[in-house]
Amino acid sequence: MEPTDILPIVAILSIVTVEFGGHALLRFITTDRDRLGAFRERFFRAGHAHAGVLLVLSLVYLLYLPRAGFSDAGEWLCGVVLLTGVLAQSGGFFLHLGVGKEGGRSPGTMLTRSGALLLAVALVALAAGLIRAA
């Protein structure tokens, strides 16, 4: 199978986990608000929102990827870098809410920044491929 046949399936199924996260967030907010606290609630929301938006971005990305003229290996690389960036960017927020302190750095902030870098690399690669193919 082509990377653009498999990777969108991964992204779509990942959206289901984001939906579950939204349900969990609503349960925390409506029933266990004091258990999370303002700091953790803020990072729970940030991780959840970034995951949802970036997964939708990945679906658009994967529609344009075949137009860039990359080999199958290039498409796999770009798609995996993109989805890894999505997981790292949003996952860093969740990691920070678990181990971070308000106003401080943690492995979560490093993971979020790494995810942003991976996303940028994947987006620039796609843009370059589309420019080259035009």
pLDDT score for 101 = 87
Instruction: Provide the phi-psi class of 37: left if phi over 0, else alpha when psi is between -120 and 50, else beta.
Output: left
Query: Which residue type, as a one-letter code, is found at position 36?
Result: L
Instruction: Identify whether the C-beta of residue 114 lies closer than 8 Å to the C-beta of residue 92.
Output: yes
Instruction: Identify whether the C-beta of residue 94 lies closer than 8 Å to the C-beta of residue 43.
Output: yes
Give, in degrees to the nearest 5, the angle at Cα 54 between 52 and 56.
Answer: 70
Question: Going residue by residue through the chain (134 aa), what tens digit of pLDDT does each one get?
Answer: 889 999 999 999 999 888 887 777 766 666 655 567 788 888 888 998 999 999 999 999 999 999 999 999 999 999 999 999 999 999 999 899 889 888 889 999 999 999 999 999 999 999 999 999 99
DSSP summary character for residue 67: G
- Cα atoms found within 13 Å of the Cα of residue 69, Cβ hemisphere only: 8
pLDDT score for 81 = 98
The residue with tokens 């939906």 is 19
- H helices present in the chain, as ranges: 3-31, 33-64, 72-99, 107-133
